[in-house]
Amino acid sequence: MSEAKSEDKKDIEVEEREKMLNAENKAQDEVRESEGVQADSEAEDKKITKDIKEGMEVKPKKIPIGGIQMPGFFTRSKSKERCKDDGDQNETEGTELLEKNNEKNESATSQTRIKLPIPFRKSKGEEDGNKSGEPKEKKTLIDSIRLPLVSVFPKRKKDDSLQSQTAQAELASMETLDEKSTDDKGAEEKNHEMKTVSLDEKHPDEEIQQPIDEDWIDLIRAHRKAIGAIILFIIVTAIIAAISFGGGQKVYSLPVKDGKYVVTVTSCGKVEGILDDGGIVFRGIPYARPPIGDLRFRYAQPLDNLDYCWNGTLLAHNSTPVCLQLTGDGQTVGEENCLTMDVVTPYVRYDNPLPVIVLIGADSFVGGSPGKMRPSPRYSRSKDVVFVRPNFRMGALGFLALEALSESDYPHSSGNYAISDILTALKWVKLNIVHFGGDPLSITVLGHKAGGTLVTAISTLHDAKEYFTRAWATSGGSVFPTKSLQESEMDNKGFMDAVQCQNTDCLRKMDARKLINAVEDTWRKPTLDLPEKGEQPSSMKHQWLVIDGRIIREAPEKVLTREDGLKVDLVIGSTTHTAASPKLLLKYVEWTPEIYKDHVNKSLLGERGLWFEACQMFPNQYQGISQLVSEVRVTCPLYLLTSQMRNVPFYIVDQRRADTSLADADSDIEAFFGRYDPLIAQQRRYSSSMQGFFYNFVWHGKLPDMSEGKVFIIRQDLQPKKDLDHCDFFKEQKIVPQYAALD
């Protein structure tokens, strides 16, 4: 009965409070209407009324992210007294409004004060045992600021099964803690225990539904290993492609050791070169077995077995001796063990191989090698080419054909050992030059004087394309072997008597220098001059080259004049004064017109009554006689030969030097190697034009336009010409090519 009465009492008290509040609100509204703030008052009255009605409810308190509910931290114990600060905050509840109605009426006329709530403070209703009918404090601006903003980025909704398996915390704006009524003792005890608030829990009113398609996410999770492997494969492939096809931006060069040495590899082992004048030089690299002992008078034997190679790293720093030979003044120089080569390269790298120029130089077949064919490291770098200069055997050791030597070898053949040296060197270049920065598919063979004759000869070989790509022969001979091997062996039979040997064993054991010096004077190259009276034609003289059946299988001249042409590109050239020499210059104290005419008259030209026409062709001085000799012996025979050849241009250098007024035999070679000394503008232009002609051919195989003529006179530019009148005259008089120089 007392409990029912108590409930009735409470209802009456609530009604009375509502009446009193309504009356008070009415009075406040009238005052605020007079002050123009009626709208704000009505919102506050509604809030107070709502708070009274919900007085019995305990609003959930909001705790910061990841907060831990601790006893007395977010709530204040019932036993605690109100602190002074609480009273000072003027926090008004429903019961205080009834007791202080007069104070409220007085304060209503004053400006409404902004009340700042104390954070983490329990409400009045909770302190008083959750009494009903007490109005709740309204939310102010500070409360709104204190609340976190709702993220504009959608959150991934966790799967229900995953939520049941894990309790990991997740970022949320604010978490709601459901608190029990303060009348419940068990809830009060739990309120004092430490409790971790789940970050995944959200208030239903605050949760933002953000649907997302989870199928593809689950698929990625299920195949994450396979996807990771695919991504890794793509990244690795991209890196490899970037390194392999990076546009040549990074140059792969071999390192320099101790600031001046570079080590590279060959088919026979490592070799160490040395930095020199802006390039890298490898000197004295063996390319064939030493042609001594039993290998004397045999074709070159390549280093195709490790037993013939060196151990460790070959120090290719210093030059090795040239092959045994005779100089112009009759001295013997060089060594028999000589089959080595020098390689000069601007750098050793693999990403951009450079054209290769193989230098074959010799004044004659008995000596004068390498002559002017000495490569320059600086010019190698300037023109971006790789120079190779091989040594090759000379004289009897390089060309002698004998019946006894042919019988001691199989297949039975002899002679042309020097050509076998050159071909073996070219094979070595083809195989190894890539390790020196060279391109094995772009090899040009350059021959000068007797070397030019050898280059022209090897251009006629049936397998020339396997050794090199193109060839350039300057100031060489035009007379090639026409005799068979047996005829050559018979012509050389007297050599056995000269050295007093009866068999090959004697020849292979004899001192090499004795063999070199046993060559007859008529086999040596004489000083070029006009043909003498009664001189035999060149075809009747001794010929070093021979149709041996193994290397030279048919007459080179026959191959050169075929309609289908050669298998390699070939350029042949000469100079206006290619026969000029110190011996010819010093033959007389001074070449006066009288001496000039007398010299011509005493020659074969005078014997045939051609001295007058010959003297009218050129100036009657040394420059004129050297040009006349050059045309009879070298220039016109080469011109007639090339006129029968297909797509083979012929050039004549006519740019004179400033000091001698000669276009000598070295004028083009020195321009190729940057050694031509231009003193005037015309000479500088000539040097530039000659280099452009040569290196365009080396780099691109580009030949000049021959539509206006196959002959090119080179002064400052290339000037095409259809024919040479002087040569046609000497041809009609049967002087050319019958008396052409042999080598």
Q: Which among 464, 223, 507 is positioned nearest to 358, based on CA atoms?
A: 464
365/505 same-domain check: yes
Residue 280 lies in a domain: yes
Does residue 719 sit in helix, strand or coil? strand
Query: What count of other Cβ atoms lies within 10 Å of the Cβ of residue 509?
Result: 11
Class of residue 120 by CB neighbours under 10 A (exposed 0-12, middle 13-18, buried 19+) = middle
pLDDT > 90 in the chain, percent: 58
* pLDDT, tens digit (0-9, with 9 covering 90-100), for 35-84: 554 445 455 555 555 554 554 444 445 554 544 445 444 444 444 444 44
Contact 444, 355 (CB under 8 A): yes
Taking each helix axis from N to C end, the angle separating 593-601 and 622-630, rounded to the nearest 10 degrees, works out to: 30
pLDDT range class, residue 166, cuts 50, 70, 90: very low
Of 168, 196, 224, the last residue of a domain is 196
Tell me: cis bond preceding 556? Omega within 30 of 0 counts: no
222 and 340 part of one domain: no
What CA–CA distance (Å, rounded) separates 432 from 718? 36
The pLDDT value recorded for residue 214 is: 67
| Mean predicted confidence (pLDDT) in 712-733 | 93
The 10 Å Cβ neighbour count of residue 111 is 8
330 falls in which pLDDT band (50, 70, 90)? confident
Is the model more confident about 180 or about 601?
A: 601
| pLDDT over 50 at 311, yes or no | yes
Question: Are 517 and 654 within one domain?
Answer: no
**Segment 644-657, tens digit of pLDDT:** 998 899 999 999 99
pLDDT (mean) for 138-163: 46
Q: Phi first, then psi: what are they for 433, rounded to 5°?
A: -65, -20
- pLDDT digits over 95-138, tens only? 444 344 444 444 444 444 444 444 444 444 444 444 444 444 44
Find, among 378, 316, 374, the residue nearest to 346 by Cα: 378
Residue 473 lies in a domain: no
Residue 401 maps to a domain: yes
Report whether pLDDT(203) > 60. no
**The pLDDT of residue 144:** 46
Between 592 and 127, name the one with better pLDDT: 592
Per-residue confidence (pLDDT) for residue 35, from 0 to 100: 56
What's phi and psi for 289, nearest 5 deg? -65, 150
Sign of CA dihedral 37, 43, 49, 54: negative
- In this predicted structure, what is the pLDDT of residue 161? 44
Helix extents (H) in 128-194? 141-146, 160-165, 185-191
Q: Can you point out the beta strands (E) in 192-322?
A: 195-196, 256-257, 261-266, 269-276, 279-286, 313-315
- Of the candidates 314, 258, 307, 306, the one whose C-alpha atom is nearest the C-alpha of residue 283 is 314
The predicted pLDDT at position 30 comes to 67
Domain end: 196, 222, 240, which one? Answer: 196
pLDDT at 458: 97
Model pLDDT, residue 51: 52
Q: Is residue 256 part of a domain?
A: no
What does the pLDDT read at residue 246? 53
Encode 168-189: b = buried (16+ Cβ within 10 Å), e = exposed: eeeebbbbbbebeebeeeeebe
Give the span between the Cα atoms of 630 and 530, in whole angstroms: 9
- 674 in the same domain as 709: yes
Higher pLDDT, 664 or 72: 664
Average pLDDT over residues 332-352: 95
Query: Max alpha carbon distance in the chain (Å)?
Result: 171
pLDDT band at 32 (very low <50, low <70, confident <90, very high): low
Closest by Cα among 70, 76, 180 to 128: 76
DSSP conformation letters of 425-436: HHHHHHHHGGGG
Domain tally for the chain? 4
Q: Does 229 score more than 70 pLDDT?
A: yes
- The phi and psi torsions of 210 (rounded to 5 degrees) equal -130, 85
Same domain, 631 and 552: no
On whether the CB atoms of residues 366 and 447 are closer than 8 A, the answer is no
Residue 82, pLDDT score:
44
Predicted local distance difference test score (pLDDT) of residue 249: 42
- Mean pLDDT on 431-449: 97
Q: Is 531 contained in some domain?
A: no
The residue range of the domain holding 394 is: 263-439+449-468+479-526+541-565
DSSP-derived letter for residue 603 is B
Asked whether residue 575 falls in the same domain as residue 645, the answer is yes
Mean pLDDT of the chain: 80
Question: Given a cut of 60, is residue 175 above it in pLDDT?
Answer: no
Mean local confidence (pLDDT), 222-238 = 85
Exposure b/e, 208-230, CB count within 10 A at least 16 = b: eeeeeeeeeeeeeeeeeeeeeee
**Which tokens belong to 401?**
């054909």
* Position 5 in a domain: no
Is residue 712 very low, low, confident or very high in pLDDT (cuts 50, 70, 90)? very high
Is residue 321 domain-shared with residue 344, that is, in the same domain?
yes
- If asked whether residues 172 and 269 sit together in one domain, one would say no
Element (H, E) at 421: helix 417-432
Instruction: Tell me the pLDDT band of 179, cut-offs 50, 70 and 90.
Output: very low
Residues 628 and 699 placed together within one structural domain of the fold: yes
Q: What is the pLDDT of residue 18?
A: 78
Please report which confidence band the pLDDT of residue 492 belongs to, taking 50, 70 and 90 as the band edges. very high
**Cα(194)–Cα(199) distance, rounded to whole angstroms?**
16
Query: pLDDT-derived band of residue 26, with 50, 70 and 90 as boundaries?
Result: confident
Query: Picking from 15-19, 488-492, 595-599, which range would have the lowest pLDDT averaged per residue?
Result: 15-19
Residue written as token pair 């005779």: 326
Q: pLDDT at position 252, please?
A: 55
Do 336 and 417 contact (CB within 8 A), yes or no? no
Same domain, 560 and 617: no
Torsion 669-672-677-683 (CA) sign = positive
Q: What is the pLDDT of residue 116?
A: 46
Could you report the per-residue pLDDT of 498-541, keeping only the tens digit for each? 999 989 999 999 999 999 999 998 899 888 999 999 999 998 89
Residues 181 and 237 both lie in one domain = no
Is residue 160 within 8 Å of residue 135, measured between CB atoms? Answer: no
pLDDT of residue 41: 46
User: In the prediction, which pLDDT does 145 show?
Assistant: 46
**Hey, what are 110's tokens?**
């004053």
Give the H/E segment covering residue 472.
strand 470-474
- 455 pLDDT band, cuts 50/70/90, is very high
Sequence-distant (≥ 6) Cβ neighbours of residue 476 within 8 angstroms: 447, 448, 449, 450, 451, 452, 453, 454, 455, 456, 572, 638, 743
Same domain, 233 and 358: no
Q: Say what the pLDDT of residue 50 is.
A: 52
Q: Give the pLDDT score at 208.
A: 45
257 is a domain residue: no
350-388 pLDDT per residue, tens: 999 999 999 999 999 999 999 999 988 999 999 999 999
Asked whether residue 532 is domain-assigned, the answer is no
Q: Which of 86-90, 169-173, 590-594, 660-664 has the lowest mean pLDDT?
A: 169-173
Tally: H helices and E strands in the chain: 30, 20
Domain CATH for 382: 3.40.50.1820
